């Protein structure tokens, strides 16, 4: 019986798909042939969110913003997977996919207005900071409720299939979300109804302070797909080429009507869960150091350098461009007007009921507004 169980376990455990070596090299037989312009787009997107992390965390410590959720260490998993979807496809994010919205055209000024919750914030301050929505880019609103976006994504994909709409839907989640009931519902519906979706788990090893070892007894997260009859793929999440290639294959498979794929992107959350979190209280710094040496930006930079696509001069130019963009966006956000109190009702009613108008006017008079 023990032998049978061992063989079943080995059969269900997917290998880790990787393309890039630590030095940025690619074996010729493993090169997925990603276009140069796509690689450069991915690299710029990764550097952009790294720069944002640095500046926003500094601002939070200065008391200029109240909250920030960093992405450091997960840039390849975020940007390279998002880049594999087409513009017409829909993104249902978890918590660390804001870089995908930026890559899809979300203006930095609008993004930072959401952090400040001012009048330029599309949600008028009624959403947590770092919870963006970008309708023009088919980027659904973020949610902090763990796992809820996964059945939403599957439902949207099922609707697209019924309508004959040729789109693919991405449903992102973290390792912690695989313990939620919503995850199991979504996986089951996705495969039973052959929904054109790709479910992407960013396994960053920690669900706030809960390590992966206490999250599941499975050897990998990808193998959870087996129970639902779904293909599960485990990918080196710090390898931008592997992430893009695996996600692109899953997208093409879904669009062809061949059903969903579950991707586990093995990566690491280098910083805290958020600016409110102190990870030194629950994890070993040796572990952090080990993963920091696997920096996905450094790895991709080495690859680009080796192909003659990037150099120090281009890096310096990009750094200057990003510092300027971020500084301008911060200036605009800090100068933004407060949210108009009238939005309390005008955001809800197209035609405001007289009794609510009277209540609001009375409240504003009492406040001296």
Active site residue ranges: 269, 273, 282
Are the C-beta atoms of residues 94 and 177 closer than 8 Å to each other?
yes
3-state helix, strand, coil split of the chain in percent (to 5) is 50, 10, 40
Q: Which of 68, 71, 48 is nearest to 58 (CA)?
A: 68
Q: How far is the C-alpha of 61 from the C-alpha of 9, rounded, in Å?
A: 47
Q: Which of 228, 168, 223 is nearest to 201 (CA)?
A: 223
Q: How far is the C-alpha of 68 from the C-alpha of 53, rounded, in Å?
A: 8
The DSSP result for 138-162, as a single string, is TBPPP--STTTHHHHHHHHHHHHHH
CA distances from 64 to 104, 122, 124, 276, 287 (A): 27, 20, 18, 14, 31
DSSP state for residue 223 in the 8-state scheme? G
Q: How far is the C-alpha of 211 from the C-alpha of 203, rounded, in Å?
A: 11
Are the C-beta atoms of residues 101 and 319 closer than 8 Å to each other?
no
């Amino acid at each position: 019986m023990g032998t049978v169980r061992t063989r079943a376990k080995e059969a269900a455990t997917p290998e880790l798909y990787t393309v890039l070596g630590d030095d940025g090299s690619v074996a010729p037989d493993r090169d997925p042939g990603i276009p140069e312009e796509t690689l450069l787009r991915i690299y710029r997107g990764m550097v952009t969110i790294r720069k944002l992390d640095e500046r926003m965390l500094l601002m939070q410590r200065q008391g200029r913003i109240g909250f920030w959720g960093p992405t450091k260490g997960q840039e390849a998993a975020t940007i390279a997977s998002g880049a594999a979807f087409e513009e017409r496809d829909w993104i249902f994010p978890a918590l660390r996919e804001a870089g995908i919205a930026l890559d899809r055209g979300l203006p930095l000024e609008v993004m930072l207005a959401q952090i400040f919750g001012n009048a330029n914030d599309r949600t008028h301050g009624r959403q947590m900071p770092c919870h963006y929505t970008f309708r023009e880019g088919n980027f659904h609103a973020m949610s902090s409720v763990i796992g809820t976006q996964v059945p939403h994504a599957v439902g949207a994909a099922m609707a697209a299939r019924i309508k004959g709409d040729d789109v693919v839907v991405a449903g992102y989640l973290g390792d912690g979300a695989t313990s939620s009931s919503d995850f199991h519902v979504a996986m089951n519906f996705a495969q039973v109804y052959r929904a054109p979706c790709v479910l992407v788990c960013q396994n960053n090893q920690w669900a706030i302070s809960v390590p992966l070892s206490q999250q599941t007894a499975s050897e990998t997260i990808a193998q959870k797909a087996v129970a639902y009859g779904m293909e599960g793929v485990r990918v080196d999440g710090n390898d931008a080429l592997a992430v893009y290639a695996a996600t692109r294959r899953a997208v093409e498979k879904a669009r062809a009507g061949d059903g969903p794929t579950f991707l586990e992107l093995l990566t690491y959350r280098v910083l805290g869960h958020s600016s409110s979190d102190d990870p030194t209280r629950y994890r070993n710094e040796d572990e952090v150091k080990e993963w920091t040496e696997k920096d996905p930006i450094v790895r991709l930079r080495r690859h680009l350098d080796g192909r003659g696509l990037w150099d120090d001069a281009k890096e310096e130019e990009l750094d200057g461009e990003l510092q300027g963009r971020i500084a301008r966006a911060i200036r605009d956000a800090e100068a933004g007007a407060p949210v108009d109190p009238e939005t309390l009702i005008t955001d809800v009613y197209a035609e405001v009921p007289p009794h609510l108008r009277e209540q609001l006017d009375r409240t504003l008079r009492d406040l001296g507004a």
